[in-house]
Amino acid sequence: MNINPQAILFDLDGTLIDTAPDFVVTMNALLAEEERPPIEAERIRAIVSEGATALITMAFDLEADDPMTLTLRNRFLDLYYRNLSLASQLFPDLDKLLQALDEQNIPWGIVTNKPVHLSEALLTKLDLHQRCHTLICPEHVTEKKPSPESLFLACQEIQVDAEACIYIGDHERDIVAGNAAGMTTIAALYGYIPPTEEVTRWQATHQVSTSPELHTLILNTINPKV
């Protein structure tokens, strides 16, 4: 691990914020509108990091290129926008981690594949928007993760070198992007990861099983004697 990193960057869903409960509510509301039975929360949770299209193809047994997939995806995102702060919250102990970073003037930011209007609305609802030093979404780049472009843009906005940053994510594309940018990477195993996923092949610099473990690990990098 890098000691005394210059910045900490997070993926959003499943890494910094537990958004799955609101995705569950939204998906089952859409299914109810279509007169279909609800889906258990764990099935939805395991796919959240894959994005809205993956959720729709799973829930409605459709192909990604089916015209109905796009229609249902748009309806799903409209519903989600209205539900995005019902139960979403920072994972345990990550409020303390962000506070420690703020107190030590270590900038932190978010690099996500979540659309910008949803990301901004969620951060505003959770009173994180003014504390976050950079928010990079797919609309800000030409290639989203696993390309490192969004991570380089975040570093540019914070004005730090990529090699001096830590990037944390719960999906292989996060670790691939972080490694390609030359960052220290942490795989958040508490996130939205299917049980069959072989996380060791992601080649993250480090892995954490819980968000309190992440809090401790980062705290020890910014305060080596703690």
Residue that terminates a domain, selected from 33, 66, 83? 83
The stretch 51-60 carries a mean pLDDT of 95
CATH number at 134 reads 3.40.50.1000
**Catalytic residue of the set 11, 22, 170, 174:** 11
Number of domains observed in the structure of the chain: 2
Integer Cα distance of 139 and 50 in angstroms: 17
Is residue 129 in some structural domain? yes
Same domain, 75 and 109: no
Same domain, 27 and 112: no
Same domain, 93 and 66: no
Same domain, 78 and 94: no
**Is it the case that residue 63 has pLDDT exceeding 90?**
yes
Kindly compute the dihedral angle of the four CA atoms of residues 114, 106, 154, 46, in this order, to the nearest 10 degrees.
Answer: -30
* Average predicted confidence (pLDDT) for the chain: 95
pLDDT of residue 40: 95
**Catalytic residue of the set 13, 18, 22, 174:** 13
Is residue 75 in some structural domain? yes
Same domain, 75 and 14: no
The stretch 1-18 carries a mean pLDDT of 91
Helices of type H across 61-202: 67-83, 94-103, 116-125, 149-158, 172-180
* 34 touches 191 (CB < 8 A): no
**φ, ψ at 90 (rounded to 5°):** -60, 145
Range of lowest pLDDT (41-50, 109-118, 169-178): 41-50
pLDDT of residue 225: 58
Residue that terminates a domain, selected from 34, 65, 83? 83
134-162: per-residue pLDDT in tens? Answer: 999 999 999 999 999 999 999 999 999 99
Same domain, 105 and 162: yes
Give the bridge partners for 111, in sequence order.
136
Integer Cα distance of 216 and 23 in angstroms: 28
Q: Is 11 considered catalytic here?
A: yes
Kindly state the percentage of the chain with pLDDT values over 90. 92
Same domain, 137 and 208: yes
Same domain, 123 and 216: yes
* Beta carbons within 8 Å of 134's beta carbon, 6+ residues apart: 9, 107, 109, 110, 111, 154, 157, 158
pLDDT of residue 1: 62
Is residue 179 in some structural domain? yes
Is residue 2 in some structural domain? no
Q: Which domain holds residue 115?
A: 7-18+89-222
pLDDT of residue 226: 44
**Residue 82: burial class (beta carbons within 10 Å; 0-12, 13-18, 19+):** exposed
Kindly state the percentage of the chain with pLDDT values over 70. 97
Is residue 55 in some structural domain? yes
Among 85, 80, 79, smallest CA distance to 122 is for 85
pLDDT of residue 195: 87
- Residue 221's alpha-carbon distances to 75, 111, 124, 132, 166, in angstroms, are 43, 21, 28, 20, 10
Kindly compute the dihedral angle of the four CA atoms of residues 75, 81, 82, 85, in this order, to the nearest 10 degrees.
Answer: 140
Same domain, 128 and 168: yes
Is residue 1 in some structural domain? no
What pTM was estimated for this model as a whole? 0.94
* 167 touches 178 (CB < 8 A): yes
66-88: per-residue pLDDT in tens? Answer: 999 999 999 999 999 999 999 99
Same domain, 65 and 121: no
Residue that terminates a domain, selected from 31, 56, 83? 83
Q: Is 93 considered catalytic here?
A: no
